[in-house]
Each structure stands twice: as C-alpha cells, then as structure tokens.
Structure 1
C-alpha cells in the first residue's frame, strides 16, 4: 500500500490549504510518497489565539488517529505548531510542525534569524516556542505585518508589508535569514528573497522536506 504524508491545515480556510498544496508541488516525487493537504473544516478561520489552539487540538488528534494507517508522517501546517507535542504522543509516526521546522532550517542558512509574523499578538506565543527550543540567542527579531487572515487576500498590500517588514528585520535588527511566519505566504518567498538579498524560508516546504526525508529513509530501512 502506498503511504501518504498528510499535511494538515488546522484552520478552515480552503484558500490557505490550496496555497500550501501549491507550495509543496516541488516535493512531489514520482517514486516518493504522496503528499496530501487537508483542511480542518470545523476549525476557526485562523489560528490567532491560545483559545483557537485549544479548539483545534482535539480535531488534529482525531484526524491523525483516523489517517494513521495510511500515513508515512504528518505535517501540522500552522506556524504556531498547535498541538504538536500532543500529536507526537498520538502517533508513532513522525510529526513536523512548520514553525519548528522553519526555524531549524533557518539556522542552517544564517546566523541571525528574522521572523515575519502576521499579527503582533502572535509574537509572544512564538517567543515562548523559540525559548523552549533554546534558540533565542540566534533570533535577530520578530516583527508583525499587522494583517489578519482575510487581509492577506490583498496581494499588493501583503507584498508591500512583507517587503517593509523584511527590510526592517535586515537593516535594523541585523537578520541575515528571514522566515515567513505563516502557512499562506509561500508564493512570496522567491520574490522576497530576491528583493532582500537574503535567504527566505517558507515553513511549509521546510516541514514538507523534512517529512519527505523521514518517509524515504523509513522505506530504505524497511528494505534492509
């Protein structure tokens, strides 16, 4: 039976899921596992608070349990990594959070990491995560776009905010690698990288790449 990497968008935005699916296209190998993107339709439209996180955690657990037999691994596609520790307790399979994966990837691309968040309220939540990971000494700074999930649909406005925020992280905070702090920003990565002259990490492809590597190694282990 062919196994899949299940990429879970833990909010109810199908537009965000479509963007994640498109971003992961380069990782779909003809001889590799399927990469399937799913929306938790019962979830809130965006994960913007601890209350939202608490709401989606049981939904994620239910999804993982119901798909475990068909899975090579799971990706939780929200930058706040809601329910990541719980998910890892739920299944024996590897589970990757896009926030954690993006930061680990960024540490290999630069010495000082700058993060572009969506809302200012997210920053304190992210800081707790970076502290738990022990990487605060490598953090140049984190700045917010100040846009909500619905406003991200305005691509011109989003791009101008991304560029301005990235420039501040580079010029004022000293970042030499930038992380996009949202699952719905992948299609700006190349453009922002060229504009800033710095590596820019998309969290979905960072986590998807790790999940793909883990799945491929598991296949090799089974063949030995």
Structure 2
C-alpha cells in the first residue's frame, strides 16, 4: 500500500535534521510492503498557534490531501494535531487518519482516563475543542490538555532532535505528573514531532508511574495502515451518508477555483 504523510508546514531548511529523524523513526515501524512518502505544503504560514491561522492552514492541508489522492495514494495521514481530518474525509475517497483522533482512540484501549501534554496553551485550546468534537471528553481527565512551561519554540525543538532529555522531557514530565495526579492512566504527546523524538530515544512511560507515554504520530500511522488494509481487503472506507457524503464535485471545483485553489 502507498501512504502519504502530509506535513502542516513547508520544508523548512533549518529543520532538515527533524525531517531526517522522522524518516528513520517512522519507516521501521511500518510493514515491509508499506510505501510511505512525506509531503510538505507548497504554501503555509508555518504557524498554527491561533484558531484562525489553523483554519487557514487546514485549507492547504486538504488541498495537499486531494493532490495525494489524485497521485494514487491509498491512505492519507494529516501529520499535525491541528488538523481538519473530518473535512478531508468528506472530500476524499481513501482512508484519512490524523495524529489526534487515532492516538486518542488508541489511548481508550490502554486506560480508562487519558490526558494530553502539548507544546503551547493555544495548541491546548485546539486539542480540547477536538476532544468535544470527537465525543471523547468523558474518557479524559477533568482538565484533559496541559501545555509545557515555558512553551516549545524552534530552539527547543531543534535541541530535542539530538537530546530530548536535556530540556523538553523535564518540562513534559512536570505537566504529565500533574495529569497523573488528576487521574490520567495514559499520556499522549500532543505534537506530531516530539512523539517520534521521545519514542526513538526510549522514552515510553513516565518513570515510576506505569503510565504509558504515547507517540501519537507512530500510533496514527499504524492505525492508517490498518484502516487502509481494511479498505483494500474488506471494502470499508467511510460512510457516505450525512457528514461525509461527498459534495457536488462541480460545485466544489467552482468554489476552489474562485479562491484560487484549483
């Protein structure tokens, strides 16, 4: 099967070590017959810590997903917690997975209550909104999403590519331990990039607690692999009634052209 991981950013040169790390972290967990391609957006504000900026960026992610489907990919992965996978599912005919929904569904199989530790307060707002949208709020703790302090920036991300234990993990653990004290039995890493960095460095649980720390990107990709396998062997992709019923193709193309997208 051919899967496409769509990044929420352009290919930022300063983060080339991160892109290389994702390649070496994600590819080995997939099946030998799974072909994965990473794609970047041709246009992006490279900023999603704003509800409006996230909304703008989501349009370009869905456009990239449409291009990937047209290029023959069997499954599409939206590689950011700030995603628009329901909108993508409406217009695509192949399985669509996201970092957020798939990792949260996986957390339900590992504990009764989960929490998410993310990279900024604005990102926490978006993730908590997703929790309500997915109908999973009752399986999370009372304050389900916490941000590290100080919040992540380009410098911290770059440093963590080589050594996440130096600065990121202490900040992450401080928030995670509060979540555990509030009842969390599973912690998700609320970032598509830090998850692979922690997992590839052997950080799989909060020390001394028995609480798993989930690499949401790795889990999301494995779920997409399973979703695509189900589509290819059993014929199930999505409902085409109500929410995910495809819109009129001509009307959609007209709308996209009017916005300069097609």
- The alignment's TM-score, normalised by the length of structure 1, stands at 0.87
CA shift, 1:49, in A, is 1.4
Distance in 2 between residues matched to 1:39 and 1:178, nearest whole Å: 28
CA shift, 1:58, in A, is 2.6
How many residue pairs get aligned? The number is: 217
CA shift, 1:123, in A, is 1.8
CA shift, 1:187, in A, is 2.0
Distance in 2 between residues matched to 1:77 and 1:135, nearest whole Å: 20
* Secondary structure class of the residue paired with 1:154: helix
Partner of 1:148: 152
Residues 117, 172 of structure 2: 8 Å contact kept: yes
Residues 99, 217 of structure 2: 8 Å contact kept: yes
Structure number with bigger Rg:
2
Q: Which runs of 5+ in 2 are unaligned?
A: 161-165, 236-262
Partner of 2:192: 183
Distance in 2 between residues matched to 1:137 and 1:20, nearest whole Å: 32
Partner of 2:257: none
Residues 47, 54 of structure 2: 8 Å contact kept: no
CA shift, 1:90, in A, is 2.0
CA shift, 1:116, in A, is 0.3
Runs of 4+ in 1 over 4 A off after TM superposition: none
1:136 partnered with 2:137: yes
Residues 80, 191 of structure 2: 8 Å contact kept: yes
Q: Which runs of 5+ in 1 are unaligned?
A: none
* Secondary structure class of the residue paired with 2:39: strand
Distance in 2 between residues matched to 1:57 and 1:194, nearest whole Å: 32
CA shift, 1:181, in A, is 0.1
TM-superposition CA deviations, 1:90-137 (whole Å, max 9, x none):
211111111111111111111110110110122222111111222212
- Where do residues 9-28 of structure 1 align in structure 2 (5 Å cutoff)? 9-12=7-10, 14=12, 15=15, 16-28=18-30
Partner of 1:162: 172
- The alignment's TM-score, normalised by the length of structure 2, stands at 0.75
TM-superposition CA deviations, 1:35-85 (whole Å, max 9, x none):
11122242133421122222222322321222214111101011122x222
Alpha-carbon RMSD:
2.1
- Where do residues 32-111 of structure 1 align in structure 2 (5 Å cutoff)? 32-69=33-70, 70-81=72-83, 83-111=84-112
Distance in 2 between residues matched to 1:33 and 1:25, nearest whole Å: 9
Residues 19, 184 of structure 1: 8 Å contact kept: no
* Secondary structure class of the residue paired with 1:24: helix
Distance in 1 between residues matched to 2:105 and 2:85, nearest whole Å: 15
Residues 115, 187 of structure 2: 8 Å contact kept: yes
